[in-house]
Amino acid sequence: MGLPKEVNITEVCPRDGFQSLPDHVPTETKIDIINRLIDCGFSQMEVTSFVHPKAVPQMKDADEVLKGVKKSNNVLFRALVPNLRGLERAIAADVEKVKLMLSATDSHSLHNANAATMEAMDKFIPLVERAKESNTKVAGSIAVAFGCPYEGEVPTDRLLEICQRYEDMGITDISLADTTGMAHPVLVKRVISTLREEKPHFHFSLHLHNTRGMAFANAIAGLEEGITDFDSSAGGIGGCPYAPNASGNIATEDIVHGFEEMGIKTNIDLDAVIEVGRILAEQFPAQSDSFILKAGKSKDLVTAPGKQVKIGEK
């Protein structure tokens, strides 16, 4: 299958998951969950978004959260920033990497950022300069990369054009997001193979939603095209912005379990993630969506050898 031996999972529940909850998660809960997630072994975590508290009240305590969480040299904190003000807050909070928010299509960009895509990218220029000054890493993102609710399928040329603009700014670490859950394995393979062929020096990662049940299949399509970085959310916290009761982020325990079953190392303590997922599912039952929390690990299903039924025993 041409699968890698090892992958990196970026935990995004503290940002994407908590942002999607209807109510603000108490600051101490966020800090507790992030601390527990650090202990699971993630090398990267999307901890918050430095947006205006009126725009996204769920993230109003971003600065406090960053102050409260324990320090660890093993995990790199990534935060979303929409503008220079957000970047300054991220720098003040000692965040090592910021991720820029961008939509693949003008229609989606106008809805989310009040600017067409390229106009939004122009506004990134001073941010990138400021980040460079402060030695803050910058990652780019492309939302609705595999389908837009207004424009449908996104031409790969459009994605390449956006990549080029990112590259002109010195950004080659790009998260491709299936915001709408419209991706399918054939599309993922087509898009990734073209992007990686045209931009072999880029580092692409996948942010997949399980809205239509294809997230894990899409992850494998990505793996087979050389992707080794994936976002996921513990407990499957985070819904779909376009269908109220539908699934959103693939659950971390589901992707880690699946990859490990397939012999791909994630370096994540699966049992520890399941425990965090369980805590999250207890607190936010309506927003949790996880197969492994319901079904348990494959290995746990198997009766201990001593308990096996022998022929004729029954």
Q: Which of the residues are catalytic? A: 240
Binding site for its own copies (CB under 8 A): 1, 3, 106-107, 110-111, 114, 116, 147-152, 180-182, 184-187, 189, 210-217, 219-220, 240, 242-243, 245-247, 250-251, 254, 257-258, 261-263, 291-292, 294-296, 298-299, 301-303, 307-314
Instruction: For the CB of residue 80, give the shortest distance to its own copies in the complex, in Å.
Output: 22
Q: Is 123 or 189 the residue whose CB approaches its own copies more closely?
A: 189
- Cβ–Cβ < 8 Å for 223, 3: yes
Instruction: For the CB of residue 171, give the shortest distance to its own copies in the complex, in Å.
Output: 23
Instruction: For the CB of residue 119, give the shortest distance to its own copies in the complex, in Å.
Output: 9
Instruction: For the CB of residue 5, give the shortest distance to its own copies in the complex, in Å.
Output: 13
- Under 8 Å CB-to-CB from 263, ≥6 apart: which residues? 3
Q: Is 205 or 252 the residue whose CB approaches its own copies more closely?
A: 252
Q: Is 1 or 71 the residue whose CB approaches its own copies more closely?
A: 1
Q: How far apart are the C-alpha atoms of 96 and 77, rounded to whole Å?
A: 6
Q: Is 11 or 106 the residue whose CB approaches its own copies more closely?
A: 106
Local structure of residue 133 (DSSP, 8 states): H
Helix segments in the chain, DSSP class H: 18-20, 27-38, 62-68, 84-92, 106-113, 117-122, 124-133, 156-168, 185-198, 215-224, 252-261, 270-283, 291-295, 298-301
Instruction: For the CB of residue 217, give the shortest distance to its own copies in the complex, in Å.
Output: 4
- Under 8 Å CB-to-CB from 236, ≥6 apart: which residues? 210, 247, 248, 249, 250, 251, 254, 277, 288, 289, 290, 293
Q: Which of 63, 176, 154, 165 is nearest to 124 (CA)?
A: 165
Alpha-carbon torsion (204, 209, 212, 216), positive or negative:
positive
Q: Is 42 or 216 the residue whose CB approaches its own copies more closely?
A: 216
